[in-house]
Structure 1
């Protein structure tokens, strides 16, 4: 019988990152800054590795290539549809936008990038950029770039721990300094930078901007209202559950376990458990296998069809499936 796979992430040292993923989330990745950890990824730019069991030391990408049934029947193209990250923004990220599937596949030979953020933590007064305050045009944006006034067109939103933001392709956006998020996105690494605060990298070079491509894919209308609304939390003996996001690419649920939470991983889809806080273990119906223990900062891949599972402990986690 297949087993729960604990994953070793890949780190990224983007210039805006901090040190919290190493100091608070136990990431043994010796790069500074440690901006992102790609927790569950088969993308060529960063493949997560299996840390236990039969497939220990192999990439998740290779195992799923051999066993596409682990993805489940909903993954129609035989590829893991998601890339799951922790992000520690010590400084502001660049103002950026992502293309949709049609544009990205035609011009970048990758998927587009639909994404969702769950705010794990945010310092007082932290913010993010989400869309435009009013309708704009390429000409308005180009002039604003030249005069350093782009900010007056952007919608800036104060963020707090527990907020959720769905970011469809074409939405200009940026995570602000002092924000830590769990990001669930399509399996893609296509980003078009619009503005990067004239920063330079460790080699003294400004990072490339992609203005012309950005305006080709950008939604230039007024941004929708993304103010936080009450979410429905369902309470069960020993746990609570709330649906954070459901779109054509993924479904994300937040689970708070105080004693135990039972769930099933059907043949239709894999599931990924991302531990945000606490510690616990996952039991499966295979009595010959020991429970998979995990703690804050760790991520597990549960192959489709693994069946009945039970999460025990004192845990805050995200559960992701397609």
Structure 2
């Protein structure tokens, strides 16, 4: 197979909405529908092939289909999600690889956000607006004044944010994003607006670990040239309309359709694609084309 369509695992976190179902065609009975893990080998939410097997099972049965640039990784390197934040997500931070491997027995998490849609006036938190001490950070968590020193950024459709591990952040209400991240599910919540979970109890916070790993500084500006984001784990590009490219021996390619519809052709196959679809092209699949009015998020290692 040169073109593999993936079906996501979905999550019903309490801050989610319904737009992934209504706007992106994600099929799920969950309500709210907060996240769709559209490219995932993580055991907490795998992606599935049309025959019901997981992407991880396919990769195990087809050695080499990740490409030579993935040989350095012990596991599938990335996880891609749609996220519908009807309400604010918790203010949170992700640890580095070293800290996460030592304390959580899985990798840390660097990620990027690509804003697919947002309500007027929407914003998110991205680092601090000035450097603060660890003592002040701890005190503000205790007295619920942390947001006073956070960097609140107004967002617009098409904005992109690169979030290295250690960066305090939160997606706020009214934003739909595509997230490309390291293959990890380690999150330390710092502040959660006093919300309770389905069990009626306040959701757990992880303040001590967050104090260990958080960079208490404004975010660093990044220049990725023509790319939306680029790091050791992923290179992400946004393509509008028709384009042609190739999948070489170095890396697989993930295609996430974020707008419109069209046709994807690769290896003698042609499939119709539409907003919300996720496709995996194995390494060394050769030339491929996308035709039509769609917009596509293209990810490779």
Global fold match (TM > 0.5):
yes
Partner deviation per Cα, 1:25-61 (whole Å, 9 max, x = no partner)? 111100011000000000010000012xxxx211001
Partner deviation per Cα, 1:285-322 (whole Å, 9 max, x = no partner)? 33xxx412211101000000111111111110100000
- Aligned residue number for residue 235 of structure 1: none
- Aligned residue number for residue 237 of structure 1: none
Secondary structure at the aligned position of 2:156 is classed as: coil
Separation in structure 2 between the aligned mates of residue 26 and residue 152 of structure 1, nearest angstrom: 38
The answer to whether residue 274 in structure 2 is matched with residue 279 in structure 1 is: no
- Aligned residue number for residue 114 of structure 1: 110
- Aligned residue number for residue 40 of structure 2: 41
CA contact (8 A) 1:256 1:315 kept: yes
Within 5 A, what are the aligned runs for 1:216-295?
Answer: 216-224=212-220, 243-257=227-241, 260-286=242-268, 290-295=269-274
Separation in structure 2 between the aligned mates of residue 248 and residue 45 of structure 1, nearest angstrom: 23
* Residue 243 to residue 224, structure 1, CA distance change in 2 (3 Å): closer
Give the Å deviation of 1:224. Answer: 3.2
Aligned residues: 300
Separation in structure 2 between the aligned mates of residue 59 and residue 174 of structure 1, nearest angstrom: 30
Aligned CA RMSD, in angstroms, stands at 1.5
- Aligned residue number for residue 239 of structure 1: none
Separation in structure 1 between the aligned mates of residue 149 and residue 36 of structure 2, nearest angstrom: 31
CA contact (8 A) 1:71 1:78 kept: no
Secondary structure at the aligned position of 1:283 is classed as: strand
Give the Å deviation of 1:146. Answer: 2.3
Separation in structure 1 between the aligned mates of residue 16 and residue 94 of structure 2, nearest angstrom: 20
Within 5 A, what are the aligned runs for 1:179-194?
Answer: 179-194=175-190
Q: Which runs of 5+ in 1 are unaligned?
A: 233-241
CA contact (8 A) 1:68 1:78 kept: no
| Residue among 138, 142, 156 paired with 2:152 | 156
Within 5 A, what are the aligned runs for 1:85-124?
Answer: 85-124=81-120
Q: Which runs of 5+ in 2 are unaligned?
A: none
- Aligned residue number for residue 275 of structure 2: 296
Separation in structure 2 between the aligned mates of residue 10 and residue 132 of structure 1, nearest angstrom: 33
Separation in structure 2 between the aligned mates of residue 80 and residue 12 of structure 1, nearest angstrom: 21
* Residue 308 to residue 222, structure 1, CA distance change in 2 (3 Å): closer
- Aligned residue number for residue 209 of structure 1: 205
Separation in structure 1 between the aligned mates of residue 214 and residue 105 of structure 2, nearest angstrom: 19
Separation in structure 2 between the aligned mates of residue 79 and residue 73 of structure 1, nearest angstrom: 13
Give the Å deviation of 1:279. Answer: 0.9
The answer to whether residue 61 in structure 2 is matched with residue 63 in structure 1 is: no
**TM-score (normalised: structure 2):** 0.96
Give the Å deviation of 1:78. Answer: 5.2
**TM-score (normalised: structure 1):** 0.90
Separation in structure 2 between the aligned mates of residue 315 and residue 223 of structure 1, nearest angstrom: 32
Give the Å deviation of 1:101. Answer: 0.9
Secondary structure at the aligned position of 2:148 is classed as: helix
Give the Å deviation of 1:18. Answer: 0.5
CA contact (8 A) 2:12 2:30 kept: yes
CA contact (8 A) 1:96 1:172 kept: yes
